[in-house]
Amino acid sequence: MEKNTFVPTHIAIQLDGNRRWGKEHTGNAYDGHREGAKTLKKICDHCKKIGVKILTVYALSIENLERSKEELDIHFDLHKRYIKKHILDSDEFVKNKIKFKVLGRKELLPKDEQELIRKAEEKTKGFSDLIFNVCLCYNGKDEIVDAVKDIIKEGYKPEEITRDIIKQHIYTSDIPPPDMMIKTGMNPEKRISDFLLYDIGYTELFFTSTYWPDFIPEELDKLINEFKNRERRFGK
């Protein structure tokens, strides 16, 4: 079978290692979140530049909501700053035709952040050059639970439920599964952490020991080149 020669359509990334980066570089674990936000901007810009069509990042899990109020406040503040600076208070996403979307249980976020997300999604909903999904208050199992609840509410009979019906009701209903998934900050552990569980049956997995704040476009390019050299058989 021929090797892949194309840039992946959909890349998913788990942004791990922020707190460890902060502890090692400044002595303050939370500084890693601030530095990680800068990295996210660089990687998003790079994906647009090289022709990736969909970037989905795992930024805050439902389990993360059990962390300290101080840390969560930093998360929420960074989310709001990013949305205001790059989407609402500028035409950056409009000029680059980037669609911004949040996946997860948004109702668990602070009310003011929910409103900013709503405005950002509305402002960018017509674009498709790059679809930028940010998973907040997210868990892959809960995504499936929410889909099942919606299917039941809509009155489907058991015999009517198919893989396609489930796909139509999960958060990623309108986009294809990731071609590749990257998890940073992994050394030596390797785990999925409940990310996009329904979608990743044939996704190519990549694990790097690089902490997210240190993840640079050049490392992404290296992983994409590795992806191009893998054979994707999809069980055939």
Percent pLDDT > 70 in the chain is 98
Query: In angstroms, rounded to a whole number, what is the distance separating the alpha carbons of residues 213 and 223?
Result: 17
Q: Is residue 4 part of a domain?
A: no
Q: Indicate if 146 belongs to the active site.
A: no
Minimum mean pLDDT range among 68-72, 121-125, 232-236 = 232-236
- Residue 208 tokens, joined: 């790097």
Structure tokens at 194: 């409940």
72 part of a folded domain: yes
What confidence tier does 6 reach under pLDDT thresholds 50, 70, 90? confident
State the first-to-last Cα distance of the chain, in angstroms, to the nearest integer. Answer: 11
Domain containing 30: what range?
Answer: 10-228
Q: How does strand 10-14 pair with strand 54-61?
A: parallel
What backbone torsions phi and psi does residue 101 show, to the nearest 5 degrees? -145, 140
pLDDT tens-digit profile of 62-90?
999 999 999 999 999 999 999 999 999 99
Residue 161 in any domain: the answer is yes
Q: How confident is the model at residue 5 (pLDDT cuts 50, 70, 90)?
A: low
Catalytic residue among 64, 96, 146, 150: 64
- Identify which of 47, 194, 57 has the alpha carbon closest to the alpha carbon of residue 133: 57
In a domain, 2, yes or no: no
What CATH number is associated with residue 149?
3.40.1180.10
Please tell me the total count of domains within the chain.
1
Task: Tell whether 134 is covered by a domain.
Answer: yes
Residue 235 belongs to some domain of the structure:
no
Tens of pLDDT, residues 28-44? 999 999 999 999 999 99
Distance CA 10, CA 47 (A): 10
pLDDT of amino acid 76: 97
Query: Residues 48, 223: contact at Cβ < 8 Å?
Result: no
Q: Which two tokens stand for residue 80?
A: 């709001």
Could you tell me the pLDDT band of residue 227, with boundaries at 50, 70 and 90?
A: very high
In a domain, 1, yes or no: no
What pTM did the predictor assign?
0.95
CB within 8 Å of 27: residues ≥ 6 apart = none
Any catalytic annotation for residue 225? Answer: no
Domain assignment present for 233: no
User: Pick the catalytic residue: 16, 31, 179, 214?
Assistant: 16
